[in-house]
Structure 1
C-alpha cells in the first residue's frame, strides 16, 4: 500500500457519457409502475409460523450488510440519513399516546425471469430523489415519490459485488463479471469495477481490476477477484479475501493501491467502510497467520492506526469501522460465521474492552468477507446486539421471540435496559440513526410488524411505522425472500425491500415475484 498511486489502464481523464459497451441510459418511462395492491397470482400468501419468522426476520437484516454495520451514525458518509419526520413518531412501547403511523405498499416491480438456475440481482441505493435497484445486467432508478422509472443503466454482464455505501454526492461503486473469462456455470470472473451516479444513472468510469502475481513487483496474468466493496472518504476499496485488495479514487477512477508480493508475505483480507476505512491485514504462514486491523487513510492506504490481533484468531471481522469494533472466534472457523469474542479499539489502536459472548446466544451471522456480519451495530459508546430466538413467555403463542441489548464499549459490561420483541415477534437491527438504532420487529402470527427506533441512551422504543398485515400486500412482498437473499433499506420514512437472487425453479413453480417492494405512510 506504500506504492504511489497509478492510473488504471484505460481510465478516463474526464467524465462523459456512459461507455459505448454499456449502451445509452434509457430515458424515463411515460408511466409509473402500478401502485395498486391488486396483484396477479404470485407466491402463495401465508401466515407467519415460527420457522418463517426466524428465516424472514434474519433475512431482512441484510440491507445492513456493510454500510450500516460499519457506520456510526446516519449522518456519516456512505449511509442514507433518517428523515426529520421520524423523530416525531409516537407508538407502542414509547411511553407516548397515539397510534403509530400505518404503512402500506406504495409501489413495486416484478422481477424478470431467471436465465440461469440462479441469477444475482443484488444491490439497492437511495438518495433524496431516487431509489435505484440492480436487475439482471442493468440498474434502474425510480422516482422515490411515485415509483416512475427515471433511468436505466445497462451493464455488459451481471453485477457480482455491490455495497450499500455511497459518497456524499451520491456516487456508488459496483463490480461486474468479465466477459472474456467465463468460469463455472457460465459466469465470469468478478474483475470489472465501475462508478455511477445514483441520482442520474450516469456511468462515471469503469476499469478492470489490477493483475497480481507472486513476483516482487506484483505482476501476473490473473485479475483481482472482487468479493466485497467498501466506500469511505471518496475511496472505494475492493477485497478478495485470498489475493489482497485494491482501491480507486471514486471521483476519477484513479488506482490508489493494488496487491503486492513482498518478503513479509502480507496482504489485505478485505475492508469495511462508512465513516472510516478499515482493513484486516494478514501476514506470514497460512496456517499460523499474524493478523492486524488497520484504520487507513482513504486517499493513500497508509495506516493511521494498527491493532494487533491475538494469535488465537485465524480470521476476524470488522463489526463497526467507527467506533472500531472487531469480532472473531478463537481457533478459526472454516465458514467464518462464528463470533464469540468482541473487542473495542480506540483511534490509536489501543484495545478498550473485551466482550465475551456465549456461542450462539446472540443473533450474529458472518461470512468469510471482512464486512459481512449481520446483527451488531455500534454508536454512542455502545455495542447493540439482538439475542438469538428463544421460546415465548406465553407457551400458547405460536412462534419465538428475542430481545435487543447493549454493551458499554469502554468497559465491556452490559449496559442497562433492554427491548423485548414480545411473544411471537423478533427484533433485528437495520442501521444506526445517530446514537440510536433503527430496527425491524417482525410480525407475530396474529399482529403487525413494525419499524422502530431504539434510543441508545435509554433503550426506549418508538414505533416509526406499523407494517401492513395483509396477505395480499406485506406477506407477498417479503415471503419470497430467503436467508441472505434480499436487500433492506430504511430511509426517510420508507422501507425498501429488494430481491438479491432470482431462482429459475421458483419462477417455474410459483410464477413472477417481486424485485422491489416499497412501503411507507405516504
Structure 2
C-alpha cells in the first residue's frame, strides 16, 4: 500500500483510496480518462469581535468590527491581571488497552469557547466544562461514525463542523467512505444538522478537507466538493463532474479559497481560486508554477500559499493581492512551516490549511525557524515577513532549551507558545508586538513532566489559546505499555490564577 494509516478503523478508508489510485493508473495505461484522488488557544479580560457567548470588551485597544454569529471568530486577547497559571482542565482517556502507538485512538479537533473545551475523539465529540481544578464532561455527542475531517475554524457564536465515516458492512462497496457532514454547537453539544455529501464515494480520511467561512461549510475530496448553508444545512453548490481539474481542498476564515489540481499526481499542476462562498463561482485564479509538488493554503485573506517546489516540505511562501496577483515570495530555507506533518506525514483529517509552524496576520507572515542545537544560543526563533515586499521585518528569539511556536494572531500581535525547561523555567504563552518588539507574558505554567515533550510538539498536539486560556489536546492516544489499563492524559488546559469567573 502506497499510503494510509496503521491498522485501525481508518484502514479500510486508506485501502479503498489506494485501490482507487491503482485502478486510476490502470485506466490511464488503457488510455481512458483518469481522475486524481489524493490527500491532499485565562485572561482577566479579552475581546471577541462577535455576538454571542464570546462577546466582551478590551480596555485600551482599538475595537474591531463587531462580528455576526456566522462570521469566523477572531479573538483579540487582553493582558491578564496575573500571568500565574493554574489548572483548568485535565482530562484522561480511558479504555485504551487495545490502542498502541501503531494503532492509536485518533483525537482530531480541539475547540474552545468561553465555557467549554471540546475534543473530537474517535466517533464522538466531548465537551469539558472549563472550571479551575474541575474535570467535568458537560456533554458527549455520539457521531454515528468515526471522524474523517475537522477544521480549526469556529463561528463567532461557537459552532463548527466535522466530516464523519458512517459504518458500512465489511466488503461493502462504500466501506471506508467519509460522506456525512455534521454541524455542531460547541457550547451545548447539540447536533444542528447532518447531511450526506453528494456523489462522495471516493471521499476518504486521506483526501477529505473541510473548512468554514462566513455562513458556509465547504468540503472537498478530490473528485468532488460541496458547500452548505450554516443556518439549515441547505446545499448551496457542488462540483462532482469528471474533469481533468478537481477541488483538492479549501481554505476558509475571512474568505474562501480553493486549491485545484489538474492532471495526474506525478505531473499535476495547481491553481488557487477565490470563490464566492454562496455560489462557488471563481472570482480570480492564480496559476501556480509548474514543478511544484504540493500546495497549502495557510490563509485565505490575505491570500497566502505555502508551496513545495522540488521537495515534499514547504519551500516557499507566496503572497497574493486581493485580485489574485502575486505580491511577494519568501524562501523558507532555514525555516519550518510544518505544513502537512501531522500524523507522520499522512494526509489524515484534512491538510490544506494546516501549517503548524506558520501564522499569517493582516500584513505579515510569522514563520518559526528550524531547531538550533548550538550551545548558549536560542533553540529557535520566529521571523515576521512583510507580505507586500517579502522582506523580514522582525525576529522573536526563543531561549536555549526553550523553543517557541507561533499560535495565532491577536489583533496585530502574535501569540507565541514557549516551551518550559523543566525546573529551570516555566512554559509560557506570550504576546509579541513585532512593530515595537515588546513581549508581554500572558500565562506562565508547568506541564506534567512525563507528558511535556509530546504536549509541546505541534506535530503531535493541538495547542489552542482562547479567551486567556491555553489548551493542549493530543491527536493520537495510545496506552502506556507499562500500565495498559490505566487512563492516559488526553487534554490539559490552564488559565490565569487571577481569573474571577
- Under a length normalisation based on structure 1, what TM-score does the superposition of the two structures give? 0.73
**What residue is the counterpart of 1:456 in the other structure?**
434
Take 2:275 and 2:171, find their aligned partners in 1: how far apart are those partners?
A: 33
**What residue is the counterpart of 2:121 in the other structure?**
135
Does residue 1:149 correspond to 2:149, yes or no? no
Take 1:467 and 1:378, find their aligned partners in 2: how far apart are those partners?
A: 26
**What residue is the counterpart of 1:353 in the other structure?**
328
Judge conservation of contact 1:209–1:223 (CA < 8 Å) in 2: no
**What residue is the counterpart of 2:203 in the other structure?**
224
Alignment of 1:9-408 (within 5 A): 77-79=71-73, 81-83=75-77, 86-87=78-79, 101-114=83-96, 115-116=98-99, 117-145=103-131, 147=134, 148-180=136-168, 182=170, 188-211=176-199, 222-225=201-204, 227-240=208-221, 242-262=222-242, 265-331=244-310, 333=311, 336=312, 338-358=313-333, 361-367=334-340, 369-394=351-376, 401-408=379-386
The SS at the match of 1:391 is: coil
The C-alpha deviation readout for 1:427-460, integer Å capped at 9, x for no partner, is 1011111111111011124211110111132332
**What residue is the counterpart of 1:488 in the other structure?**
463
Farther off after superposition, 131-140 or 486-495? 131-140
> How much does 1:506 deviate?
4.3
Take 1:519 and 1:131, find their aligned partners in 2: how far apart are those partners?
A: 11
> How much does 1:494 deviate?
0.7
> How much does 1:357 deviate?
2.8
The C-alpha deviation readout for 1:440-481, integer Å capped at 9, x for no partner, is 01112421111011113233211111112xxxx533454554
> How much does 1:274 deviate?
1.3
Take 1:392 and 1:462, find their aligned partners in 2: how far apart are those partners?
A: 27
Does residue 1:500 correspond to 2:480, yes or no? no
> How much does 1:286 deviate?
4.4
Alignment of 1:427-466 (within 5 A): 427-445=404-422, 446-466=424-444
2:387 to 394, 403, 409: 409
Judge conservation of contact 1:430–1:490 (CA < 8 Å) in 2: yes
Farther off after superposition, 309-318 or 476-485? 476-485
- Over 3 Å counting, the alpha-carbon distance change for 1:199 and 1:183 in structure 2 is farther
Judge conservation of contact 1:389–1:402 (CA < 8 Å) in 2: yes
Take 2:130 and 2:270, find their aligned partners in 1: how far apart are those partners?
A: 43
Farther off after superposition, 439-448 or 429-438? 439-448
Take 2:94 and 2:459, find their aligned partners in 1: how far apart are those partners?
A: 20
- Over 3 Å counting, the alpha-carbon distance change for 1:223 and 1:192 in structure 2 is farther
Give 5+ residue unaligned stretches, structure 1.
Answer: 1-59, 61-72, 90-99, 213-221
Does residue 1:421 correspond to 2:398, yes or no? yes
Judge conservation of contact 2:111–2:119 (CA < 8 Å) in 1: yes
Take 1:145 and 1:74, find their aligned partners in 2: how far apart are those partners?
A: 30
> How much does 1:340 deviate?
1.4
Judge conservation of contact 1:345–1:352 (CA < 8 Å) in 2: yes
- Over 3 Å counting, the alpha-carbon distance change for 1:483 and 1:348 in structure 2 is closer
Take 2:358 and 2:305, find their aligned partners in 1: how far apart are those partners?
A: 10
Judge conservation of contact 1:210–1:223 (CA < 8 Å) in 2: no
> How much does 1:80 deviate?
5.3
Give 5+ residue unaligned stretches, structure 2.
Answer: 1-40, 42-63, 341-346
> How much does 1:182 deviate?
5.0
**What residue is the counterpart of 2:52 in the other structure?**
none
Take 1:492 and 1:189, find their aligned partners in 2: how far apart are those partners?
A: 37
Structure 1 segments (4+ residues) deviating >6 Å: 73-76
- Over 3 Å counting, the alpha-carbon distance change for 1:291 and 1:167 in structure 2 is same
The SS at the match of 1:329 is: strand
Query: CA-atom RMSD, angstroms?
Result: 2.8
The C-alpha deviation readout for 1:101-154, integer Å capped at 9, x for no partner, is 211222311112235532112222122222222234322223323543332212
The SS at the match of 1:258 is: strand
Which of structures 1 and 2 has the larger relative contact order (alpha carbons within 8 angstroms, sep 6+)? 1
2:448 to 474, 489, 492: 474
- Over 3 Å counting, the alpha-carbon distance change for 1:183 and 1:440 in structure 2 is farther
> How much does 1:247 deviate?
2.0
Farther off after superposition, 502-511 or 286-295? 502-511
- Over 3 Å counting, the alpha-carbon distance change for 1:351 and 1:420 in structure 2 is same
> How much does 1:495 deviate?
0.8
Q: How many residues align?
A: 412
